[in-house]
A and B are shown apart, each in its own frame.
Chain A
Amino acid sequence: MAATNAIGRMLDSDLWWSFKRSPVTVLSAIVALVCIGGAVLAPLIAPHDPFDLASLQLMDAFKPPAWSAEGDLTYLLGTDDQGRDMLSAIMYGARVSLLVGIFATLFATMLGVAVGLLAGYTGGLVDNVLMRVADIQLTFPSILVALLVDGVVRAALPREVHDQIALFVVIFAIGISEWPKFARTVRGSTLVERNKEYVLAARVIGISRARIMVTHVLPNVLGPVLVVATLNLGLAILAEATLSFLGVGVPPTQPSLGTLIRIGNDFLMSGEWWIAIFPGLALVAMVLSVNLLGDWLRDALNPKLR
């Protein structure tokens, strides 16, 4: 019963109404679902296993997509230099891209929310110092920060250690490059919330500062964070793809879409265009649909635009 109620409430809500009204949003939601579904279910629905060395046929290397003259129906989008099926490689690659994007955004969100809450609620010197740091970081493009952090960590760790934790390093680098946006958003709303009566009431009855911040102020400042996080997810996926394309991102044993494009780039000049272009299209479809959803969410939740 509870479930149907929840669905009924959702179908009745303003959000659902504004969703249905915009064909672009519905379309991007479908594209995003296809991308995410393909990525999550890759081990179940991918036609081949690109990591199963036994099934790789070097004879099948460089097959063009199925619709061209020399194409093969078993490899719908063609194969790469090692005879891996491009469609399967893209599905597995999207998995890595999505994973890094989501965790980097989560990391940036948690760090940014914590800093913003602390700065906004405490005020004074803490606020000054933390926000100055955020401002300074914001003057540098986030991709540059991610690249430098990744480069420094890469140089600092011995190669064997780095290869093992490369995924975490990328997540850390991208997350650390994007927290100031969250901190600024949260600080802004915290400044508004902290003078409201419920906070005053909580203080009067003697609840500790940390508890007021976490249990009272935090839930009330999370709304805008959701929008920033959605828009940030697209950026984080792009940042990961860029790092991997430059060869400093995820390890080659776990290729993401960026890695696949990097590999394909080597064969572009000899005419094997599909190795780079299809992962690129998948990346664009994923990022564009997530961004359009983020735009919609921002407008739908903004009371001024209603």
Chain B
Amino acid sequence: MFAFIVSRLLQAIPVMLVVALISFAMFAYVGDPVAIMLGQDFTEAQRAKLVQDLGLDQPFFVQFLKFVANAAQGEFGLSYRLSRPVAELIAERAPATLELAFCAAGLALVVGVPMGVYTGLYRNSWLSRLFLTFSLIGVSLPTFLIGILLILVFSVWLGWLPSFGRGEVVQLGWWSTGFLTWSGIKALILPSITLGLFQLTLIMRLVRAEMLEVLRTDYIKFARARGLGNRAVHFGHALKNTLVPVITIAGLQLGAIIAFAIVTETVFQWPGMGLLFIQSVGVADIPVMAAYLMLIAAVFVTINLVVDLLYYAVDPRLRVDRGVARGH
């Protein structure tokens, strides 16, 4: 177990270093931060001082090490666009993105797993066919189009739900939450559906396929032969064994949710990190872009690590001698 964690950590380090190198290269070679920060009028002395203050006169490798050390402490400098510390900007936007991602993932699991179980058990019923057709639509529609359609129907035509923003938020320390006000919850509904729909259909199809597979196996037949009821067989035996791949995919999809949050946040003008990133790309705000890049890489590396560990915890076959586990 310990060796496994260490080897996964060792794999994560080069990934982070490469991403750091890309981020740093952007800093070092894209645009001229000195010119951007000085504006129109400056003297040569001011310029030289700024170059020295920013450490731009030092060798590449020293600058890179400094960058990594700063990045590890969450220090990315000032945003060119907003002239505020990047770490502060991101911390301010993070709750919005995380609450949205949490709701979308929750929706996908809470609705997707039961739908998958149902379509797996009663695969010829009309409701199953309806679910499957619906899932095909969910897979084929691009995220932003789903958002636009939802806005059109529920905001423009019916006028039930807001089409942009987070509604009223409550500050809990540095965390701003939309869960505590009615308008905040209403504002969460459409973005969560938009973001979660693809994952929902994916989980549904996955659970369905796994259920179909598992229900054919011998131990299900034996469980029935032992006289267990449908409930115990379906949920105690079958569903439990479909969960290994579901956990893997759902975990990995958490990363995809954060990636697609960029799109959803743009559609709904949701004040999260994704919107911040897109706005920064538009004006080449390198510090924000670099910080976001590093953050996303860190999130992905962590998610992959956690999923691997979960896998290990859920599937007992992996815990026995690995050579044996690989043998079959």
Which residues of A come within 8 Å of B, CB atoms? 136, 139-141, 143-144, 147-148, 150-152, 154-156, 238, 241-242, 245-248, 261, 264-265, 268-269, 271, 273, 276-277, 280, 283-284, 287-288, 291
Contact = CB atoms under 8 A, between A and B. Distances in A.
Contacts of A269: 151, 155-156, 163
A154 B281 contact: yes
Given A141-B259, A143-B259, A268 B148 contact: yes
B148 A276 contact: yes
Interface residues of B, number: 39
B59 interface: no
B290 to A, nearest CB: 10
Interface stretch (B25-33, B39-47, B233-241): B25-33
A141 B142 contact: no
A244 B300 CA distance: 25
Given A139-B255, A246-B263, 10 more contacts: A143-B260, A147-B281, A152-B30, A154-B284, A155-B26, A155-B31, A247-B278, A264-B148, A269-B151, A269-B156
A156 B286 CA distance: 10
Nearest to A162: B284
Given A151-B289, A247-B278, A261-B148, A268 B156 contact: yes
Contacts of B31: 155
Contact of B148 (A148, A150, A280): A280
B266 A246 contact: yes
Interface of B: 15, 22, 26, 29-31, 140-145, 148-149, 151-152, 155-156, 163, 252, 255-256, 259-260, 262-263, 266-267, 277-278, 281-282, 284, 286, 289, 293, 296, 300, 304
20 contacts: A139-B300, A139-B304, A140-B300, A141-B255, A144-B296, A152-B26, A155-B281, A155-B284, A238-B142, A241-B142, A242-B143, A246-B262, A248-B281, A268-B151, A268-B156, A268-B163, A271-B156, A280-B148, A283-B142, A287-B140
A242 B260 CA distance: 10
Given A147-B262, A151-B281, A283-B142, A265 B148 contact: yes
List the 3 closest pairs (A to B, CB-CB), nearest first: A144-B259, A155-B284, A151-B281
A241 B145 CA distance: 10
B145 A283 contact: yes
Nearest to B147: A265
Contacts of B260: 141, 143
Given A242-B142, A269-B156, A156 B259 contact: no
Given A141-B259, A268-B151, A273-B152, A291 B145 contact: no
A155 B256 contact: no
A195 B289 CA distance: 47
A286 to B, nearest CB: 10
A226 to B, nearest CB: 21
A295 to B, nearest CB: 11
B281 A277 contact: no
A284 B140 contact: yes
Contacts of B296: 144
Given A241-B142, A288-B140, A246 B278 contact: yes
Contact of A284 (B145, B255, B256, B262): B145
A268 B145 CA distance: 12
A75 to B, nearest CB: 20
Contacts of A264: 148
B172 to A, nearest CB: 30
A138 to B, nearest CB: 10
Contacts of A141: 255-256, 259-260
Contacts of B282: 247-248
Nearest to B257: A141
A141 B258 CA distance: 10
Nearest to A280: B145
A268 B256 CA distance: 27
Contacts of B144: 241-242, 245, 261
B264 to A, nearest CB: 11
Nearest to B155: A269
Contacts of B286: 155
A288 B143 CA distance: 14
Contacts of B284: 154-155
Indicate the member of B26, B145, B149 with the most A CB atoms within 10 Å. Answer: B145
Nearest to A238: B142
Contacts of A284: 140-142, 145
B157 to A, nearest CB: 9
A155 B277 CA distance: 12
A184 B267 CA distance: 34
Contacts of B293: 148
B289 A155 contact: yes
Indicate the member of B149, B151, B284, B300 with the most A CB atoms within 10 Å. Answer: B284
B58 to A, nearest CB: 22
B266 A245 contact: yes
A150 B284 CA distance: 11
Contacts of B289: 151-152, 155
Nearest to B301: A139
A283 B29 CA distance: 37
Contacts of A271: 156
Contacts of A288: 140
Contacts of B255: 139-141
A246 B277 CA distance: 11
Contacts of B26: 152, 155-156
A287 B144 CA distance: 14
